[in-house]
Chains A and B, each alone.
Chain A
Amino acid sequence: GENVEQHPSTLSVQEGDSAVIKCTYSDSASNYFPWYKQELGKRPQLIIDIRSNVGEKKDQRIAVTLNKTAKHFSLHITETQPEDSAVYFCAARANSGGYQKVTFGTGTKLQVIP
């Protein structure tokens, strides 16, 4: 089955700096890579996703890059703000018919220091 590794497990940055979280996956059949943000006591919320036919995607201060050859993908947050503080999970998914079998990374706790 799929195995997703995520680093670092914790990350502290000063407000305004950039944050980068990296993930690797094992199953070459995985073709969809979402990123979820989970604030304390709340549900995971999708913040950005990328498909395997795209190398990079950007949405305002958030960007994701994908290297299919190396099976790496990364989340980049620029101009960080205190409200970016949360746990971030990367995930990988291979098509499974009408549903999704998503494998999550172990999570990165991001702290943005004002």
Chain B
Amino acid sequence: DTEVTQTPKHLVMGMTNKKSLKCEQHMGHRAMYWYKQKAKKPPELMFVYSYEKLSINESVPSRFSPECPNSSLLNLHLHALQPEDSALYLCASSQGRGSPLHFGNGTRLTVT
């Protein structure tokens, strides 16, 4: 019953594959985020889009490429990933200043 929907739930990909993670929200939130979470660690911010413009890129390797087609959708394109990129990828959204983050259920990514 989460309001932020992520697909797929699980993804296994080889190091030469290209895949995309998708995130959708219909709460009218104007900020959307990608976080990476390794086991037993806190979420780490990767990218922030505000009003469909990339506002933060936390020095993420270029093999991760975000895209925000419109205010409701956020994609993360993956190419030539490494096994250490295996993690839970969380999408989040917020209304903006003063409002909390709403997380999706995440995509559990395994790179073989």
User: A-side interface residues toward B, CB under 8 Å?
Assistant: 32, 34, 42-46, 49, 51, 87, 89, 95-102, 104-107
Interface residues of B (CB under 8 A from A): 2, 30-31, 33, 40-43, 45, 48-51, 55-56, 90, 94, 96-106
- 21 A/B residue pairs, CB under 8 Å, sorted by A: A43-B2, A43-B103, A46-B100, A89-B42, A89-B43, A95-B97, A96-B55, A97-B50, A98-B31, A98-B55, A98-B97, A99-B33, A99-B49, A99-B50, A99-B55, A100-B33, A100-B97, A101-B56, A106-B42, A107-B40, A107-B41
Q: Shortest CB–CB separation between residue A71 and chain B, in angstroms?
A: 18
Inter-chain pairs besides A95-B97, A99-B50, 18 sampled, C-beta below 8 Å: A32-B98, A43-B106, A46-B100, A46-B101, A87-B40, A89-B42, A98-B31, A98-B96, A98-B97, A99-B49, A99-B94, A100-B33, A101-B48, A101-B56, A104-B42, A104-B43, A106-B41, A107-B40
Contacts of A95 in B (CB 8 A): 97-98
5 interchain residue pairs of minimum CB distance = A104-B42, A99-B31, A99-B50, A43-B103, A98-B50
Q: Tell whether A44 pairs with B43 under 8 Å between CB atoms, given A99-B31, A101-B56.
A: yes
Q: Smallest distance from the beta carbon of A91 to chain B beta carbons, Å?
A: 8
Min CB gap A35→B, angstroms: 10
Complex Cα distance A97/B40, Å?
A: 31
Residue numbers in A under 8 Å from B105 (CB-CB): 42-43
Residues from chain A with a CB closer than 8 A to the CB of B48 are 99-101
Contact B51 A98 (CB under 8 A): yes
Residues of chain B within 8 A of A43, CB atoms compared:
2, 90, 103-106
Interface hub of A89, A98, A104 (most chain B Cβ within 10 A): A98
Selected from B51, B96, B101, the residue in CB contact (under 8 A) with A34 is B101
Task: Check B40 against A49 for contact (C-beta < 8 Å).
Answer: no
Q: Which of A49, A105, A106 contacts B100 (CB 8 A)?
A: A49
A102-B33 Cα distance, complex, nearest whole Å: 11
